[in-house]
């Protein structure tokens, strides 16, 4: 029995990766752990950028930041609920997790806690040029030692 982790970026609905992760969990007789990690700085960065270009003032910036944070959490909860419903309908036990922080740190902890054998990462499909230019944005895989990692591209 091997548990399977699917790491879903906030705001993405990974149909292909979700089907693959559910099939892996079913095949290996394990539990599916569906994880979305929210970036705690995202809403502040967006509001700060809008404030810097003179688009809005400080008070409106705080309201926008709060709205972005709530929307991000709400969408992620709905997405995780969809994964739970899909996995449950296929007879796979699932644990949904919505965490906040550094993705590598959170994933490393979840892998150890839930005894994950395979991690499925959802990656946005990119052109070869975009992949070449964004090498610095690569996922830090050493933190996930001892766990098979599969990267699945989504449109």
pLDDT surpassing 90 at residue 34? yes
pLDDT surpassing 50 at residue 82? yes
Query: What is the pLDDT confidence band of residue 28, given thresholds at 50, 70 and 90?
Result: very high
Q: Which residues span the domain enclosing 117?
A: 3-154
Selected residue with higher pLDDT from 49 and 141? 49
Selected residue with higher pLDDT from 62 and 150? 150
Q: What is the mean pLDDT of residues 71-91?
A: 92
Q: What is the CATH number of the domain that holds 62?
A: 3.40.50.620
Dist CA 22 CA 29 (whole Å): 10
Please state whether beta strands 148-154 and 32-38 pair in parallel, antiparallel, or not at all (unpaired).
Answer: unpaired
For the segment 114-132, what is each residue's pLDDT rounded down to a tens digit?
999 999 988 766 555 545 5
Q: What is the number of domains present in the chain?
A: 1
């Amino acid at each position: 029995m091997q548990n399977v982790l699917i790491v879903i970026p906030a705001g993405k609905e990974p149909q292909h990766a979700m089907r693959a992760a559910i099939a892996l969990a079913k095949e290996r007789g394990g539990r599916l752990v569906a994880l979305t990690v929210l970036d705690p700085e995202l809403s502040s960065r967006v509001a700060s950028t809008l404030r810097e270009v003179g688009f809005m003032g400080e008070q409106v910036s705080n309201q926008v930041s709060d709205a972005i944070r709530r929307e991000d959490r709400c969408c992620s909860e709905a997405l995780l609920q969809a994964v739970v419903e899909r996995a449950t309908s296929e007879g796979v036990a699932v644990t949904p997790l919505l965490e906040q922080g550094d993705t590598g740190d959170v994933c490393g902890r979840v892998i150890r806690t839930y005894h994950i054998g395979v991690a499925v990462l959802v990656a946005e499909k990119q052109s070869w040029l975009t992949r070449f230019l964004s090498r610095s944005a690569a996922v830090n895989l050493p933190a996930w030692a001892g766990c098979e990692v599969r990267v699945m591209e989504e449109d």
